[in-house]
Amino acid sequence: MRVGVPAEIKSAERRVGLTPSGAARLVREGHQVVVESGAGRHSGFDDDAYRTAGARLADRDAVWEQADLLVKVKEPVAEEYRFLRRDLTLFAYLHLAADRPLTQALLDAGTTAIAFETVRDGRTLPLLQPMSEIAGRLAAQAGAHHLQASAGGPGMLIGGVPGVAAAKVVVIGGGAVGTQAALVASGMMADVTVLDASGPRVRELTDLLGHRTRVLMSDDDEVARQIADADIVIGAVLVPGAAAPKLVRREHLRTLPAHALLVDVAIDQGGCFETSRPTTWDDPTFDVDGITHYCVANMPGTVPRTATRALANATTAYVVRLTNGVDRALGDDPGFAAGLNVADGAIVHPGVARAFPDLPAAGDAAPARIDRPGVLLD
């Protein structure tokens, strides 16, 4: 099989979909790997590293056109839609429920699209977990940075000092993103509260986070109470594969302190704050009703040396399985098959079908029952 690895062109995205080590593994197994020149530069992998691994270097058009399997990090952007075709399998983060244009482009092209974020292993999302952990840690760091006056904030130190109160940080969602955000924020001495809708998870987090962090059951009233005096609110709630629920609505903004900062880590899936819209690292924040919103859509992209390696640790084995036959790989593993979002001009994933009920969907893509929002992000 021919495996293509293009350079990422989404704004400020510096990760790469396959490391030289992963390329060497594929080559040893008899596959061809074509990498866009410069694709790994920001992740610490120069072109020579890929050549040594046995990969061939090419320009962007050649990588896309020659690939049977295209391995990316982030979803194709509009200028890449022209490369989509029926005999291509795309393996990347896709977040289709928040991206109608890409969903339509994949349907029109007949591309087979497998999303990292919906692949399952039992109750876990193994290809989302590492980026969720990075995004959670970055969310707390971003919150601390944007409280500073030099970043346009109110001039607060997130951890306070003796005699001066620490900032109150409310984390909505206690999965991988929320847990890591809480750990880092509490490590910076902030006053941290985590809200989660699962009783068992609340107990787990209470044991994990210790007495320095409050962990409370989440419902609409508790969310409203806790954010009313919060300095930072981190949104880390997601229904895997589906549009994120809007847990903080516009009418809530008038109850927040005037200097409050909202960090929406769920923005790839449409955001869990009603007033959110995607931002970039070049222009990360905007104000609504006097409340600052931070909604960078590819947070781990700013730490590519860490993020690429962490992602490859999780994805490379799945790439290898796909090269030995896409149908076989998905047919042998229902968890891997859960990653299939679009195929043969129809939506396959229930969450995406629910987001776009007017678009063609396979018969088994009826909306599934969801017990509670998930809490993982890339």
296 labelled binding-site residue: yes
8 Å CB contact between 148 and 350:
no
169 is in an annotated binding site: no
**Binding site annotation covers 15?**
yes
Residue 332: partners with Cβ closer than 8 Å, 6 or more residues away:
none
Does the annotation count 95 as an active-site position?
yes
> CA 129, CA 131: separation in Å to the nearest integer?
6
- Tell me the C-alpha distance between 111 and 88, whole Å: 6
Is residue 305 a known part of a binding site? no
User: Strand 69-71 to strand 2-5: parallel, antiparallel, or no bridges (unpaired)?
Assistant: parallel
Q: Torsions phi, psi of 235, nearest 5?
A: -90, 115
Q: β-pairing, 346-347 with 340-343?
A: antiparallel
Catalytic residue among 42, 95, 293, 349: 95
Residues 6+ apart with CB under 8 A from 48: none
Task: Please tell me whether 218 is known to bind a ligand.
Answer: yes
Residue 246: burial class (beta carbons within 10 Å; 0-12, 13-18, 19+): middle
277 annotated among ligand-binding-site residues = yes
- Determine whether the annotation assigns residue 35 to a binding site: no
Q: Where are the beta strands (DSSP E) in the chain?
A: 2-5, 32-36, 56-58, 69-71, 89-92, 112-115, 168-172, 191-196, 213-217, 232-235, 261-264, 285-288, 291-294, 340-343, 346-347
- Say if CB 173 and CB 236 are below 8 A apart: yes
Dihedral sign for Cα atoms in the order 193, 198, 200, 204: negative
Residue 132 assigned ligand-binding role: yes
Q: State yes or no: 333 annotated in a binding site.
A: no
Residue 55 counted as an annotated binding residue: no
Are 264 and 272 in contact by the 8 Å Cβ rule? The answer is: yes
- Determine whether the annotation assigns residue 268 to a binding site: yes
Judging by beta carbons within 10 Å of its beta carbon (0-12, 13-18, 19+), is residue 29 exposed, middle or buried? exposed
Is residue 268 annotated as part of the catalytic site, yes or no?
A: yes
Structure tokens at 239: 């229904």
Distance of CA 308 to the CA centre of its chain: 13
- Local structure of 210: helix, strand or coil: coil
Q: Which residue in the list 268, 293, 349, 378 is annotated as catalytic?
A: 268
| Residues carrying an active site annotation | 95, 268
Question: Binding site for substrate: residue ranges?
Answer: 15, 74
Question: Binding site: residue ranges?
Answer: 15, 74, 132, 196, 201, 218, 237-238, 265-268, 277, 296-299
Question: Binding site for NAD(+): residue ranges?
Answer: 132, 196, 201, 218, 237-238, 265-268, 277, 296-299
